A = this chain, B = another copy of it.
Amino acid sequence: MNIYTLPKGTYSEKATKKFLEYIDGDYNIKYCNSIYDIFESVSNGGLGVVPIENSIEGSVSLTQDLLLQFKNIKILGELSLDIHHNLIGYDKDKIKIIISHPQALAQCRNYIKRHGWEVKAVESTAKAVKIVAESKDENLGAIGSKESAEYYNLKILDKNIEDYKNNKTRFILIGKNVKFKTLPKKYKVSIVFELKEDKPGALYHILKEFAERNINLTRIESRPSKKRLGTYIFYIDFEDSKEDLEEIIKSLKKHTTFINILGRYPVFD
């Protein structure tokens, strides 16, 4: 079987290798150029690994759109990786311009500002490192991963240059089903629904159902519905509890026009 993810050297590839330690069975890693390609491949079989939150490798809203569109694909598992950025180039004292992905530039903004460097945004951290390597220009520096510096034979001039050290990205395992070797204790449920009424307090009633059952929400996000004007769909993640999931969903249905379970899945550390 195949497990699809983003290209070599990405954090998504790293997350895939981590997932494979927990998965029972033989899987070959196949590399795709986009999150969209991964969903398309997985819809024909196999597994996939994509970023779901605050990532330099893709848009969160795209992953969410695709989870809603590909009804036969479920979330099967989750894990988080620490994201570290490195200054890559030739000679720190000669650098004038820093090149990287916009999200990486944003995450190292104080560091860049302290040095007074100019910035230039490109599509990926890998492309930034490639540009610096091919230009052979000592005035350029890139922000990227350790692996990309090694690949292009460039020096790491500063390690862990991100402004906030608690920089994690969550990745999800997607597919129809999977068997894990061992299971962690922590489980999560992801749901998506549309509120019946666009009026003050509608969401408040939903949260009341969770608060009364003492269930912790770990994420909430609203997005404008594309089907009807002025309505919103909500993505909510919550910790799986001893409460009956069907009973919870039933209680929410009073307030929603539709509700889908995107997955009930283990969270690996």
Contact yes or no, A53 B200, CB < 8 A? no
Cβ of A61: which chain B residues have Cβ within 8 Å of it? Answer: 54, 59-60, 103
* A54, chain B: closest CB distance, angstroms: 5
Contact yes or no, A102 B221, CB < 8 A? no
* A188, chain B: closest CB distance, angstroms: 14
Contact yes or no, B217 A103, CB < 8 A? no
A229 CA to B165 CA in the complex, in Å?
10
Contact yes or no, B204 A216, CB < 8 A? no
* Also in contact, A102 and B220, with CB within 8 A (given A121-B37, A226-B167): no
* Also in contact, A164 and B227, with CB within 8 A (given A65-B103, A204-B208, A215-B200): yes
Cβ of A69: which chain B residues have Cβ within 8 Å of it? Answer: 106, 109
Cβ of A225: which chain B residues have Cβ within 8 Å of it? Answer: 166
Chain A window 180-215, contacts with chain B (Cβ cutoff 8 Å), 1 for yes, 0 for no:
000000000000000000111101100110110111
| Identical copies of this chain, number | 2
Chain A window 27-59, contacts with chain B (Cβ cutoff 8 Å), 1 for yes, 0 for no:
000000111110010000000000001100011
Closest to A37 in B: B121
Cβ of A200: which chain B residues have Cβ within 8 Å of it? Answer: 210-211, 213-217
The A interface, classified by DSSP as helix, strand, loop or mixed, is mixed
Contact yes or no, B227 A166, CB < 8 A? yes
Of A200, A220, A221, the most chain B CB neighbours within 10 A belong to A200
* Also in contact, A36 and B123, with CB within 8 A (given A59-B59, A166-B227): no
Contact yes or no, B62 A102, CB < 8 A? yes
Q: Is A224 an interface residue (CB 8 A)?
A: yes
A33 CA to B121 CA in the complex, in Å?
7
* Also in contact, A166 and B106, with CB within 8 A (given A59-B59, A119-B40, A208-B204): no
Q: Is A17 an interface residue (CB 8 A)?
A: no
Q: Could you tell me which A residues sit within 8 Å of B by CB distance? A: 33-37, 40, 53-54, 58-62, 65-66, 69, 102-103, 105-107, 109, 119-121, 123, 164, 166-168, 198-201, 203-204, 207-208, 210-211, 213-229, 232
